[in-house]
Amino acid sequence: MTATDPRVSAGSTLDRIHRPDDVRALPACALPGLAEEIRALLVETVSRTGGHLGPNLGVVELTIALHRVFHSPRDAILFDSGHQSYVHKILTGRRGDFPLLRQPGGLSGYPSRAESPHDLVENSHACTALSYADGLARAAALRGRSGGVVVAVVGDGALTGGMSWEALNTLAVGGRPVVIVLNDNGRSDAPTVGAVGAHLAQLREHGGDFRLSVFENLGLSYVGPVDGHDIGRLEEALGKARSMGRPVLVHCVTTKGRGHPPAEDDAVDRMHAVSPPGPGPAGPTWTSVFGDALLDLGARRPDIVCLTAAMQRATGLTAFAEAYPDRVLDVGIAEPHAVACAAGLAMGGMHPVVAMHATFLSRAFDQVLLDVALHGLPVTLVLDRAGVTGVDGPSHHGMWDLSLLQAVPGLRIAAPRDARRLRALLADAVAADGPTVLRFPDGATGPDVPAVRERDGLAVLHESTARDVLLVSVGPMAVTAVRAALKLADQGVGVTVCDPGWVSPPNPALVALADSHRLVVSVEDNTRVGGVGVRLAQAVADAGVTTPAHALGLPAAFLPPGPRPEVLRGHRLDASGIARTVLGLLGAGARPPVPPPRRVQPARRR
């Protein structure tokens, strides 16, 4: 929004807000105008930069009331999942930087400790705030601090997650001053499901006339339901909760997308998060190709059932759910339950497909390891947005899944290089009699990458007469690897580019191929630590092959937001960077040319 925009003129109320004290100093009559200006700023900025629009439009009045009743940062205000914190950023001195939301060098789309002392935690995964709140309140008591209050703003969708109830189990009986603000709009990334959503609906309908809420039965004081868009009533309810000096839940009923008709009327949550203007993906996306392929398989395989953790549309399951509604289960924001439930479904004779973003996999690692893999169950995990995901930043890069999953015995992992291979590998995965994983990135698939030849489960994408370097690509890094091979050819280096498709455990044919090259280099968009390349190097060494094997990947660091090509280029994972690294490794003493090597016979694959 420009300075000349009539909605935020030089004399506007928002123009006078530089810190929470300024919000508290406003007369009540100025607050509706402030809310209107904030909404205008949200719509203008987020429509341009992309980001979470619907959730923030719904908490404008609530956030204003929070900063009028509580004194941040002395009172710790925590926003569960963090995507509803834009208004908080505006009111805590970051309005001038807000036009750079989610831009390189600009504001994060989630709370950020580096930005402001008002952002205490960098939480962008749901269901964490209540645990933080319990710990903070206990720490204050143990250190003899008094006067401050811990406030946790939790969406109703987060109450479908088990971690929230684990926190409530101890928080409710702690007797410490914690205010839980339940932002109840009936949705998360999708409508709130299950018994929790039904109970909240009853509370909204009957209010104080309804029998004791589940929260009161746990030992929490309950205030509400309160109109979450009436600042006066919100201030009254929050003030009452603060004065109690014990754990209190304030039930605020809000409308997601409030004040912006396209977002308010968004029945399928397309306005939950919006993309910046532009042409969009050039061609089908990885997620849409997966959704179409799954739908085709579902028509032939009545045993295929799908599970999602409150992200049916975002993970490509919408078409399958419309065709087979009784074969899709939304468990809410509860990835551990999704995987353990899938184990039960597999024990019952079905083949479950659990679809989630790669960044959320770590929440269900225990269930993958001990509920699925230990039992050798035919469950397929589909991880989209794997690798570098762009502007959502460090918590949403899907760059740890390969490292985590390679520790799981009996688990096979596939990474398709293009749309055609995605369809084929998905079909292989759901035909397997044990646990499988299929991972792919965000965005468009791009053109298919043809193979020069295929043998023993390996696709050779580029081949030179001289066998200097075996370049092993993981998934969509195939295109980059082929481009790097062409650059190396210009330098007189012969390269074989190989795509294993099933990347873990290592295909024994890769080990045999390594023995006929001077150097093996793997390329993946996962962290190098524990990645596919490290496991391949171990397999090469274990087989007694003396060819040096070097793994290229992302560093063990929390990477800042940025477009995928830029992030990869910054870590020398573009074609030029790979070529430079390979030349450096050859110059540093890769194995010199030798007579034709002995052949390592590949083991028979299942």
As a whole number of angstroms, the distance between CA 97 and CA 114 comes to 14
User: Is residue 185 marked as binding?
Assistant: yes
As a whole number of angstroms, the distance between CA 185 and CA 153 comes to 13
Instruction: Note if 335 is an active site residue.
Output: yes
Report the SS3 class of residue 337: helix
User: Is residue 335 marked as binding?
Assistant: yes
As a whole number of angstroms, the distance between CA 325 and CA 308 comes to 13
User: Out of 335, 421, 423, 564, which one is annotated catalytic?
Assistant: 335
Instruction: Note if 363 is an active site residue.
Output: yes
As a whole number of angstroms, the distance between CA 52 and CA 10 comes to 27
Q: Are 422 and 502 within 8 A, CB to CB?
A: no
Report the SS3 class of residue 475: coil
How many angstroms separate the most distant Cα atoms in the chain?
A: 87
User: Is residue 124 marked as binding?
Assistant: yes
User: Is residue 80 marked as binding?
Assistant: no
How does 74-110 read in b/e, with b if 16+ C-beta sit within 10 Å?
ebbbbbbbbbbbbbbbbbbbbbeebbebbbeebbbbb
531 phi/psi in degrees, rounded to 5? -80, -175
Q: Which residue has the tokens 């935690």?
A: 121
Identify the sign of the CA torsion 3, 5, 11, 16.
negative
Q: Which two structure tokens, joined as six digits, stand for 354?
A: 């659990």
Instruction: Note if 591 is an active site residue.
Output: no
As a whole number of angstroms, the distance between CA 381 and CA 365 comes to 11
Cα 279 to Cα 275, 276, 282, 283: the distances in Å are: 10, 10, 8, 10
First-last CA distance in the chain: 59
User: Is residue 448 marked as binding?
Assistant: no
Q: Which two structure tokens, joined as six digits, stand for 155?
A: 């969406």
Q: At what angle do helices 575-587 and 477-490 cross, to 10 degrees?
A: 50
User: Is residue 125 marked as binding?
Assistant: yes
As a whole number of angstroms, the distance between CA 137 and CA 174 comes to 9
User: Out of 39, 363, 385, 535, which one is annotated catalytic?
Assistant: 363
As a whole number of angstroms, the distance between CA 551 and CA 534 comes to 6
Q: Of the candidates 406, 357, 440, 382, which has an alpha carbon nearest to the alpha carbon of residue 538?
A: 406
User: Is residue 123 marked as binding?
Assistant: no
For 107, how many CA atoms within 13 A lie in the half-sphere containing its CB? 28
Q: For residue 274, what is the DSSP state?
A: B
Q: What angle do CA 187, 191, 193 make, to 5 degrees?
A: 110
User: Out of 256, 385, 528, 564, which one is annotated catalytic?
Assistant: 256
As a whole number of angstroms, the distance between CA 114 and CA 129 comes to 19
Cα 366 to Cα 74, 339, 359, 564: the distances in Å are: 37, 9, 15, 29
User: Is residue 131 marked as binding?
Assistant: no
Which residues is 187 bridged to in the sheet?
Answer: 191
Q: For residue 191, what is the DSSP state?
A: B
Cα 1 to chain centroid distance, Å, stands at 29
Measured from the Cβ of residue 321, the count of other Cβ atoms closer than 10 Å reads 19
**Is residue 115 exposed (0-12), middle (13-18) or buried (19+ Cβ within 10 Å)?**
middle
Which residues is 329 bridged to in the sheet?
Answer: 307
Instruction: Please give the annotated binding residues for Mg(2+), written as ranges.
Output: 156, 185
Instruction: Please give the annotated binding residues, written as ranges.
Output: 83, 124-126, 156-158, 185, 260, 335
Residues with catalytic function: 256, 335, 363
Instruction: Please give the annotated binding residues for thiamine diphosphate, written as ranges.
Output: 83, 124-126, 157-158, 185, 260, 335
